[in-house]
Amino acid sequence: MSFTRRLKEYARQQGIPLVGATAAHPFTEAIETVEDYQKRGLMVPFVQVDDPARYDPRLILPGAKTVVAVGLWQPPPDAPGSGVARFAHGYDYHHRVTGALEKLGHFITKHYPNAGWKAMADTGPLVDRTAAWRAGLGWVGHNCLLHAPGLGSWVSLGELVTDVELEPDVPVPSECHGCDACRAACPTGALVAPGRLDASRCLSYLTQTKGWLPVEFRHALGVRIYGCDTCQEVCPVNRALPSARDSDIHIPAGTPECLPTGVPAIPGPAAVLGCAKGEFAKLWGHTAFAWRGRQVLRRNAAVALGNLGDPAAVPVLQQALADPNPLIRGHVAWALGRIGGKAARQTLERVLGGEPDTRVGQEIRQALSQ
């Protein structure tokens, strides 16, 4: 058996459902995609698009010959409707995917003691979806997501760059027939063209970004606290997947990096908003949303409570209106305005005179005028 096949066999034994290899050539598809984004005036947030290492594995590891891409399954959440998107449930996928890749790296070292390798899962400069597509893990749909046969787009990606030469895989043919259900369902029309996302309108981006949420998107955010799955949930390829995949995915005991377990259930928005400083890291330090910090999540939770419109949330919002952070007070004021009713209104009127922050004052006045 060739070393490539042994490596793949080992990956499967370790509970890694998707693994493939591609030559460490420049990522021309990603370069073309980014150039098109720039032509359209669309930003790609959180990454440095002009970093040449994003598109060339040889700049990450001198003498690189192969990129090994892996994908880990994102099981359906234990707590559906929590407002947290599927990729962010359970243990942080950055650690799980990197852990899985490191296993493969050690396997390579065992057979080639002088081999060089570097593992990354959204933690290095490379474009993960291009690596996965080239390595034959799946095809890229109109919603920009990589869909793997049998698992759909519910996969977290990462790759390992190595100077060992492995047999390359070939890209799999696309099963996206351009129905555009994803583009039609996007609540803010962020999928401006097939495979092109205006991140500034994307609800996933908005839940992850710092600062004040633009008022025009607050309704559309609904109960989302972190991420958005709408363009994946409506995809007919994802919908055709069997609902429970556990029996199909071989995850042996002792491979915690391949299965998210043991993380406390994500509670509703009231608990997130009320979460004390010391509690946040204790409860959610292991998740993929912890990096964004407590205040952004609390801001989103305030908006979610407003959108739920349940007057039972007024007491928790009243309390948060005394928060030292103006960002929280401002979004809480918006939520109280959206819930409306006598108690919410009286609370807003009571705090208006004493509010020291101009922006929060504006939010309160706007909320009262609703």
Residues marked as catalytic: 122
Stretch that binds ligand B12, among 150-158, 278-286, 308-316, 329-337 (CB under 6 A): 150-158
Burial of 175 (0-12, 13-18, 19+ CB in 10 A): middle
User: Pick from 59, 115, 199, 343: which binds ligand B12 (CB under 6 A)?
Assistant: 199
Applying CB under 6 A, among 202, 251, 266, 327 the residue interacting with ligand B12 is: 202
DSSP code string of 52-105: GGGS-GGGTSTT--EEEEEEEE-PPPSSTTSSB-GGGSSS-HHHHHHHHHHHHH
Q: How far is the CB of 365 from ligand B12 (least distance, A)?
A: 32
Q: Which of 56, 78, 102, 122 binds ligand B12 (CB under 6 A)?
A: 122
Q: How far apart are CA 150 and CA 298, in angstroms?
A: 36
- Token representation of residue 259: 């299965």
Q: Does 22 bind ligand B12 (CB under 6 A)?
A: no
Shortest distance in whole angstroms from residue 205 CB to ligand B12:
4
Q: Choose the binding region for ligand B12 from 12-20, 193-201, 251-259, 352-360 (rule: CB under 6 A).
A: 193-201
The residue assigned the tokens 């964004």 is 292
Could you say whether residue 227 binds ligand B12 (CB under 6 A)?
yes
Place of tokens 């947030």: 45
Residue 268 touching ligand B12 (CB under 6 A): no
Query: Of these, 82, 208, 287, 318, which contacts ligand B12 (CB under 6 A)?
Result: 208
84 binds ligand B12, rule: CB under 6 A: no
> Is residue 229 at the binding interface for ligand B12, with CB under 6 A as the rule?
yes
CA separation, residue 275 to residues 66, 270, 323 (Å): 45, 8, 12
In Å, what is the CA distance from 205 to each residue of 190, 198, 226?
10, 10, 9
Residue found by looking up tokens 């032509």 in the block? 39
Give the residue with the Cβ less far from ligand B12, 87 or 117: 87
Asked whether 337 and 368 are in contact (CB, 8 A), the reply is: yes
d(CA 148, CA 174): 10
Half-sphere exposure of 26 (CA within 13 A, CB side): 6
DSSP letter string, 26-61: --HHHHHHHHHHHHTT---TTS-TT-GGGS-GGGTS
Binding of residue 157 to ligand B12 (CB under 6 A): yes
- Report how many helices (DSSP H) and strands (DSSP E) the chain contains, helices first: 16, 8
SS3 1: coil
Indicate which single residue of 16, 18, 64, 197 sits in contact with ligand B12 (rule: CB under 6 A). Answer: 197
Does the footprint of ligand B12 cover residue 47 (CB under 6 A)? yes
Please tell me whether residue 19 binds ligand B12 under the rule CB under 6 A.
Answer: no
Among 73, 91, 133, 334, binds ligand B12 (CB under 6 A): 133
Residue 45 in contact with ligand B12, rule: CB under 6 A = yes
Q: Which residue from 4, 156, 318, 347 is in contact with ligand B12, where contact means CB under 6 A?
A: 156
Site for ligand B12 in 102-121 (CB under 6 A): 121
**Phi/psi of residue 57, nearest 5 degrees:** -60, -25
> With respect to ligand B12, which residue has the nearer C-beta, 218 or 224?
224
In the complex with ligand B12, which residue's Cβ is closer, 47 or 271? 47
158 contacts ligand B12 (rule: CB under 6 A): yes
57 or 227: CB nearest ligand B12:
227
Q: Which amino acid is at 276?
A: A
Asked if 69 touches ligand B12 (CB under 6 A), the answer is no
Q: Which residues of 229-255 are buried (b: 16+ CB within 10 A; e: fewer)?
A: bbbbebbebbeebeeebeeebebeeeb
Options 23, 44, 115, 352; binder of ligand B12; rule CB under 6 A: 44
Q: How far is the CB of 243 from ligand B12 (least distance, A)?
A: 19
> Which residues are near ligand B12 by CB under 6 A?
29-30, 33-34, 44-47, 85, 87, 121-122, 127-130, 133, 140, 143-146, 153, 155-158, 195, 197, 199, 202, 204-205, 208, 227-229, 231
